[in-house]
């Protein structure tokens, strides 16, 4: 279903109909949303500068911790504030705890006080 006029207005990075991130303009004369097939004339993108940034994790950003019960916890460290001690930096790992059609559970462990919390997605 190719359309040219939307009832909504949005930034050119997003589809005005469904909100999906639009692909970068290519050689075609229209940019088409991959989700709802809404299309925007490529001339709307003239003069627009696209910038991107890749941020790499620091070396050693993987933490290995030994819990009180002797169990090792390792994984990437993210910028997340521990609700227990306020330390910035928690290790996380994910597990599929429910059926396959449901999201994973994310487990966070404070790298300082070893407080653990989980987040269902």
Dihedral pair phi/psi, residue 103, rounded to 5°: -70, 165
Dihedral pair phi/psi, residue 10, rounded to 5°: -150, 170
Binding site membership for Zn(2+): which residues? 15, 18, 33, 36, 82, 85, 110, 113
Binding site membership: which residues? 15, 18, 33, 36, 82, 85, 110, 113
C-alpha 4: how far from chain center: 29
DSSP 21: B
Q: Cα–Cα distance between 6 and 1 in angstroms, integer?
A: 13
């Amino acid at each position: 279903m190719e359309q040219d006029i939307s009832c909504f207005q949005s930034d050119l990075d997003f589809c005005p109909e469904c909100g999906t991130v639009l692909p970068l303009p290519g050689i075609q004369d229209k940019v088409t949303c991959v989700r709802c097939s809404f299309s925007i004339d490529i001339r709307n993108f003239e003069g627009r500068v696209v910038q991107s940034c890749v941020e790499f994790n620091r070396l050693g950003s993987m933490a290995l911790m030994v819990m009180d019960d002797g169990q090792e916890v390792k994984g990437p460290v993210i910028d997340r504030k521990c609700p227990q001690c306020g330390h910035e930096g928690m290790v996380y790992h994910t597990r599929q705890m429910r059926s396959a059609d449901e999201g994973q559970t994310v487990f966070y462990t404070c790298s300082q006080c070893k407080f653990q919390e989980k987040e269902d997605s």
